[in-house]
Structure 1
Amino acid sequence: MYHLKEILTYFLLFLFRNCCSTDIIGPNQTLKDGNILVSSGKAFVLGFFGPEKSSNRYVGIWYNKVPEQTVVWVANRDNPIKGTSGVLAIDTAGNLVLFDGNHNFSVWSTNVTSMTLKKSPSAQLMETGNFVLFQDQSKSVITWQSFDYPTNTLLPNMKAGWNRRTGLNTSLSSWKSFDDPGTGDTVFKMELTGTPQFYLLMGTKRLWRTGPWNGLGWSGVPEMVSNFIFKILYVENDNEVTISYSIKDPSIFSRMVVNESGTLERLTWQGSERGWVRFWYVPTDPCDSYAHCGAFSNCDLFNLSEFECSCLPGFEPKLERQWYLRDASNGCKRKQGENICGNGDGFKKVINAKVPDTSIAHVNKSLELKECQELCLKNCSCTAFATANISGGNGCISWHGNLADIRQFSNKGQDLYIRVPAVEIAQDTRNSKGFRGKRLMATVIVLILAMLLILFLAYWLLKKKRKGTEGQIKRPFSFNTGLASYGGRAEEMEGSGTNVEVSIFDLSTIVSATEDFSLANKLGEGGFGAVYKGRLPNGQEIAVKRLSAISGQGNEEFKNEIKLIARLQHRNLVRLLGCCIQQDEKMLVYEYLPNKGLDYFIFDEARRSLMDWSKRFEIILGITRGMIYLHEDSRLRIIHRDLKASNILLDTSMNPKISDFGLARIFGVDQAQANTNRVVGTYGYMSPEYAMEGLFSVKSDVYSFGVLLLEIICGRKNSSYFEEDTVNLIGYVSIWIFNI
């Protein structure tokens, strides 16, 4: 096992090594196999790599801060170098060129022929993962960049789509296999026919389609609308039609990848899982597969039938027998005897839809939805229409011919209007009249039943009220008894009087919420007793602190904790929801914090990796804010007396909250310190004057905070074993500082 001093030494050497790395290749410089470029912020590395069981070598870019080498771009993907003789340099024409040193020939080049050669071209690996070739030393003109020629990965801030000025279509193509980065068969690219949209293809076969951009996202990717991690940028003008995304939190590593298996997936690095976690991918289900149900049909996984395919309004299966056998590949046709382009044609709406393939669609961005409908009715070949922009309501897309690749979403999506003949409209009218009659009868029946139900509930509530209210009850809880022992007077308490409004929970409610205090719900145990996770009838999660019969926290400490937490309100203090005092039970009910205590993370080697230095600093600041509130900002001056890692709880966002006020003391406004004959708390965190003489003050908490600060920084318990001649972390750090 490494000593703390050795770990610090290795860390300093690592910083020194990386600070000396370069990110630039100049005109008279080369990058040989074994050398690397590291971006300025240490996010990406460029160098040579190769499959484990092959002598092939490639120039690629990969993440520097991800332990698992993850290559995001490959230069010579279809022209590997045998052995380690590769050299990357800038030639006399100003191009980046990869040479095979053994045979002295070029295997890859940027091959830019239209640039004006300057004296000092250079290539730089940017912090975004983009490898950029500049025309001259000023870096004002980019002559080539890797972001324009991606392989299988779309990184943040990389554009995918068309550059209309140059005709360049930036697309993704899979590797041939897991250990062969050569160009594979699966491609993700944008096509501009009709309206711009991306297709996932295997060779020439369409696997999946994004649908057109509808103002909020791709029609076929409704998840984009409510995305909370990414910021999406869609650009469509005379110069380009592109899509790109940026990550709101730069500490998150996320990438989109086209796989050789025929899937497009979004992956995010999870340090806790020590790997890439896939949280979105397509195709996901049968309805994702391109034109799964054939023409003029709708794919809906949420309908009540066993078959996901159904014909659009006004259509019927083209081959009944195949449809019966759950094969909809031949799609649907107009119902026999029904033709459009007659008087009385209308439209039926399909909601929450991925609109049909727009490669045969017409777009007019200036029309309103009503104008779009009128325009479609005037053209006999028009089969459907939809708005082009669901966020603003402007724009018209109309389809002329087959309607393919429609699917239904559970929500979101957009409205699609299918053209139907007059006979379908008339049928709907007849059905509507019959339905209205049935609905009226049903409404009368429902009203009668509702009245009976109300009468029954009124009788039940009256009967229940007579027996007394069960469950959670709001009532004042008195703290007059023994108040002086806490050093506080009634007139010093916040609010009026000494009664605190506290939620009192019935024992049966707590038993039900914790499943009779089952071991599966047990969160931990201390000298006071056990803590259980529970769920109230309204769905709220709670943490129940159940005092044991042998608990060191008696009635006075119990009342003290209720009194303090109920009156103190701060985002860095745990929130008390109520208590339960019934039979021999004394329980406190807190808000449930899913990430447990700070000790759960910082004292565990695996989980400690989740806490980088910025997160630890945020936690330290949060604890500091909580302590300042207790000592200075609250009208009550509170000395906690038991500040330690296990009493710092973490919420879902890893924000710290100080807990466990059973040993806390209230100080008067002018009171500096107090004395006690009963020294309580946790040894190792106690200040010397408190442990030896019983004197405690604000400084006692500050001392405990200092110990906690050392533990957070070092990731070691104060009481853990050290080989040096010390008994705890404080002694070890003192010796280490003295030796410096």
Structure 2
Amino acid sequence: MKYDTLFHTVSFLILLFKSSIAVDSIAPNETFLDNNTTLVSPNGNFELGFFSPQNSINRYVGIWFKKVPIQTVVWVANKNRPIADSSGSLSVTSSGNILISSNQSSLWSANSTSSNPVLRLLDNGNLVLDDGSGRNYSWQSFDDPSNTLIPGMRLGWDLRSGEERYLTSWKSAGDPSPGEYTYRTNPKGLPSLVLRRGSNITYRSGPWDGVRFGGSPALHGNTVFNPYFVFNATDVYYSFENTDDSVVSRFVVTESGILTYFRWSETGNQWIDIANLQADTCDNYAECGSFGVCEFGREPICACLTGFAPRLAEDWARFDWRGGCSRIAPLNCSTAAGFRRFSRVKVPDTSTSFVDKNARNEEECEAACLRNCTCVAYARTDATGCVVWSGELIDIRLYDEGGQELFVKMPLSQLGSRKSKRAAAVIASVTVVAFLVLLALIIWLLIRKRLAKKKAAMAEQQHDYPKQDENASMGDEDVALPLIDFLTISTATNEFSFANKIGEGGFGPVYKGVLPNGKEIAVKRLSRDSGQGLHEFKNEVILIAKLQHRNLVRLVGCCIHREERMLVYEYMPNKSLDLFIFDQTKLTSLEWNIRYDIIVGIARGLLYLHRDSRLRIIHRDLKASNILLDSEMNPKISDFGLARMFGADQYQETTKRVMGTYGYMAPEYAVDGFFSVKSDVFSFGVLVLEIISGSKNRGFYHPDHDLNLLGHAWKLWTEGNPREFVDASIRNRESAAVLRCIQVGLLCVQQRPEDRPTMSNVVVMLDSEHSVLDQPKQPGFYTQRMFDTDSSSTGNIPNTSSEITVTLLHGR
């Protein structure tokens, strides 16, 4: 009896001792009781124990944030089998199974086995059962998520084992049992993230195209977390990491089906909602029914795809679009068919799609869809190649920026046959023939008049290089640039194969090629289906052929073949600057000396354009994606499609067609259409601040304020803390030079053009270590958040037609 008393006393003291210190593991045959004892991760960030949700007396085993005073549970074990009192216990058997029991009755089991098992709570909040080595996990809580995704957890599929990890909402705030909503990864076709209520889809993200989800910004880090999406032969999943150890964040599917990112604010002592994925009504699944397209901001928001009409016209008129649309002209296996292109769209639900791995390029993808009687549409992306749809097209929306191109199969009668138009012209009366003769005479007179004006204009241009008219036809200007035939370019790019595609510019794709002499080239192919770009194509040929500088990309030649128009550049093996500074992996390889050389190189290239070339050139679209990098990381300014040529005594101009890229345009240009060399200076200043910080001006987010990147830099500068603006990987390197470049960047983005320095002054400020710089004034556009898109804005108005459309800014 004495020995039993002594044994229980020692056991109690051991338990008391263990409860007084933080332990992170349970060994076999140790019992973890519901008596306020907990497991704490080694870094003290997470805690495991018994808890009761709000307004509930039931007890559960769960994991929560240790350092957050408001208990926030991120994982629950026995969510379907609550314990009615404090009699619960957690233990690990010698065979490696995890048990939760109450009054000797088992309520939950991990159904795992392991030799030498140890149950551990890791620093990332993952509860694991290993073999004592701390590595080989036979079970882990990250494989069985609840309603919360925390950094390091995966939302998606292990394709090798067929295991899926997904989130399930709680039934209520006081009941963690599975609720109505699940958030899962759909790996079929173009991968997407899908929210369901029961078996019904309520929200579907845009499809993953290798860079972004639909029309969302490109997937890159912000000041709170760094998201990433893995899509390969073995894994399809979404995950994220915190930017640093001090951040506490989580992604939650709420009981009402809201998808939200939260960040814990220590100063406000509360959770802050930093991102809500369901942005507008068009994010509701199948809002416009089959073959309908949703465009938020339009009234009404739903329309049928071109070539389709509402199935239930009366319902449609009453804003009930669930019935969707149907074809105006039937399409069957015997119907001659073609395709209508829809751009900037969220492509349909991929449940009725499959990937055609044999189609290597867009032409082969189109041919495969034409051969397949059941195919109704196709799309191509860098991530998956050719995706083909059969059945009805559901859940399509139009984006302001981004998105994919969808090609919908249509009867040729709906596409407008040229043959039928010519046939109709042949069946004409004598009156029509007479009219055509008269029309031909008028056209001949107009051509003669136009040729006379063109000769006079060319003679005047050779005299003093006047400005180039915005809408003028540029004719056959005499430029010393070789023409390369279409067959040579097609052979060099392997017939424009998808494997040779290295980018997508504002007016078409870019391909890598190798000429017969072994020279590597980059070919910019003007989109044949775009109604824009011909003027810009000719503009770029004329301008860049006359410019020679080590910091300007060299144009090798051009090609005009039927409707094809192509520019052939020297190949830049390191591609564009944005692929480095906006990629967290590549960014760390950009040491300060490389970044400084890039900044100086861009400045010298701009100085040449503004002052030292025989033409005065305003680039108008200077941005990170238009800075190419050669094998030695030397920067070269490219893409002169929007550039304007000034006369020797001309410095500024006003236009009604504002073209450029949001986030880089100067205020006076974006608002009033007024541009000058100082407009390029503003764009250069944005570039400098992006290179130093590693963040984009467009889409920049900071949890403490609503400023964009320019405003963030200005705020830190005025507070005397500019080093916080610098990318962490170079923060302690060459601090004086870094701070000087920040000051130069802020001087360049000042609100008033007259306050900004010229590029000659910028080069002097960058080259001189001892020059005294002016204090910058308030930046322009420093409070505005901008959408994260890299497209240049041109003069087409958005609609739901089959043409490519982008946004027009009108000067006021």
In structure 1, what is the equivalent of residue 219 of structure 2? Answer: 225
Encode CA deviations 1:106-137: one digit per residue, 9 max, x unaligned: 2211122xx3x42x310111111110011x22
Which segments of 5 or more consecutive residues in structure 2 lack a partner in the other structure? 1-17, 423-438, 454-466, 468-665, 671-691, 693-710, 741-745, 747-812
Verify the 8 A CA contact 1:291 1:406 in the aligned structure 2: yes
**1:424 correspondence with 2:435:** no
Residue identity matched to 2:228: I
Find the residue that maps to 2:367 and give its secondary structure.
helix
In structure 2, what is the equivalent of residue 311 of structure 1? Answer: 304
Verify the 8 A CA contact 2:206 2:216 in the aligned structure 1: no
1:210 to 205, 208, 213: 205
CA distance in 2, matches of 1:59, 1:40: 19
Verify the 8 A CA contact 1:287 1:301 in the aligned structure 2: yes
1:244 to 239, 257, 281: 239
Call closer, same or farther: CA 1:104–1:297 in 2, change over 3 Å: same
Call closer, same or farther: CA 1:149–1:345 in 2, change over 3 Å: same
Residue identity matched to 1:104: Q
Question: In the TM superposition, what is the alpha-carbon distance from 1:157 to its structure 2 partner?
Answer: 1.6
Residue identity matched to 1:359: S
**1:400 correspondence with 2:390:** yes
In structure 1, what is the equivalent of residue 349 of structure 2? Answer: 357
> Equivalences for 1:302-341 in 2 at 5 Å?
302=297, 305-335=298-328, 337-339=329-331, 341=333
Call closer, same or farther: CA 1:168–1:427 in 2, change over 3 Å: same
Question: In the TM superposition, what is the alpha-carbon distance from 1:385 to its structure 2 partner?
Answer: 0.4
In structure 2, what is the equivalent of residue 291 of structure 1? Answer: 286
Encode CA deviations 1:40-86: one digit per residue, 9 max, x unaligned: 22221111211243221111111122232211101111211123222
Identity over the aligned pairs, expressed in percent?
35
Encode CA deviations 1:484-511: one digit per residue, 9 max, x unaligned: xxxxxxxxxxxxxxxxxxxxxxxxxxxx
Verify the 8 A CA contact 2:253 2:260 in the aligned structure 1: yes
Question: In the TM superposition, what is the alpha-carbon distance from 1:322 to its structure 2 partner?
Answer: 1.3
Question: In the TM superposition, what is the alpha-carbon distance from 1:430 to its structure 2 partner?
Answer: 10
Verify the 8 A CA contact 1:390 1:414 in the aligned structure 2: no
Residue identity matched to 1:130: N
Provide the aligned length of Structure 1 versus Structure 2.
454
**1:277 correspondence with 2:272:** yes
Encode CA deviations 1:363-414: one digit per residue, 9 max, x unaligned: 1235211110111111222111001x336xx610011110001111111111
Call closer, same or farther: CA 1:38–1:598 in 2, change over 3 Å: farther
CA distance in 2, matches of 1:278, 1:197: 23
> Equivalences for 1:618-629 in 2 at 5 Å?
none
Residue identity matched to 1:171: Y
CA distance in 2, matches of 1:191, 1:199: 7
Question: In the TM superposition, what is the alpha-carbon distance from 1:341 to its structure 2 partner?
Answer: 4.6
Question: In the TM superposition, what is the alpha-carbon distance from 1:591 to its structure 2 partner?
Answer: 11
Which segments of 5 or more consecutive residues in structure 1 lack a partner in the other structure? 1-16, 448-453, 455-535, 541-570, 572-589, 601-613, 634-650, 652-740
Q: More strand by proportion, 1 or 2?
A: 1
Question: In the TM superposition, what is the alpha-carbon distance from 1:537 to its structure 2 partner?
Answer: 7.1
1:261 to 256, 259, 268: 256
Verify the 8 A CA contact 2:63 2:75 in the aligned structure 1: yes
In structure 2, what is the equivalent of residue 129 of structure 1? Answer: 125
CA distance in 1, matches of 2:669, 2:43: 45
1:155 to 150, 153, 158: 150
In structure 2, what is the equivalent of residue 29 of structure 1? Answer: 30
In structure 1, what is the equivalent of residue 68 of structure 2? Answer: 66
Encode CA deviations 1:238-283: one digit per residue, 9 max, x unaligned: x443332333433322222111101222222233443222232243
CA distance in 2, matches of 1:596, 1:429: 66
CA distance in 1, matches of 2:56, 2:135: 40
Verify the 8 A CA contact 2:377 2:406 in the aligned structure 1: yes
CA distance in 2, matches of 1:179, 1:172: 18
- Root-mean-square deviation (CA, aligned residues, Å) is 4.6
**1:54 correspondence with 2:56:** yes
Residue identity matched to 1:404: I
Verify the 8 A CA contact 1:211 1:357 in the aligned structure 2: no
CA distance in 1, matches of 2:333, 2:408: 13
In structure 2, what is the equivalent of residue 413 of structure 1? Answer: 403
Question: In the TM superposition, what is the alpha-carbon distance from 1:429 to its structure 2 partner?
Answer: 10
Encode CA deviations 1:10-65: one digit per residue, 9 max, x unaligned: xxxxxxx9995221111143322211111122221111211243221111111122
CA distance in 2, matches of 1:317, 1:350: 18
Verify the 8 A CA contact 2:19 2:37 in the aligned structure 1: no
In structure 1, what is the equivalent of residue 603 of structure 2? Answer: none
> Equivalences for 1:693-704 in 2 at 5 Å?
none
Encode CA deviations 1:691-725: one digit per residue, 9 max, x unaligned: xxxxxxxxxxxxxxxxxxxxxxxxxxxxxxxxxxx
Verify the 8 A CA contact 2:186 2:193 in the aligned structure 1: yes
> Equivalences for 1:560-571 in 2 at 5 Å?
none
CA distance in 2, matches of 1:199, 1:298: 19
> Equivalences for 1:642-681 in 2 at 5 Å?
none
In structure 1, what is the equivalent of residue 296 of structure 2? Answer: 301
CA distance in 1, matches of 2:134, 2:95: 17
Verify the 8 A CA contact 1:355 1:414 in the aligned structure 2: yes
In structure 1, what is the equivalent of residue 715 of structure 2? Answer: 594
CA distance in 2, matches of 1:629, 1:273: 33
Question: In the TM superposition, what is the alpha-carbon distance from 1:90 to its structure 2 partner?
Answer: 0.6
Find the residue that maps to 1:225 and give its secondary structure.
coil
**1:183 correspondence with 2:183:** no
In structure 2, what is the equivalent of residue 105 of structure 1? Answer: 105
Verify the 8 A CA contact 2:294 2:303 in the aligned structure 1: yes
Find the residue that maps to 1:252 and give its secondary structure.
coil
Residue identity matched to 2:259: L
Verify the 8 A CA contact 2:155 2:165 in the aligned structure 1: yes
Encode CA deviations 1:94-117: one digit per residue, 9 max, x unaligned: 2111122xx2222211122xx3x4
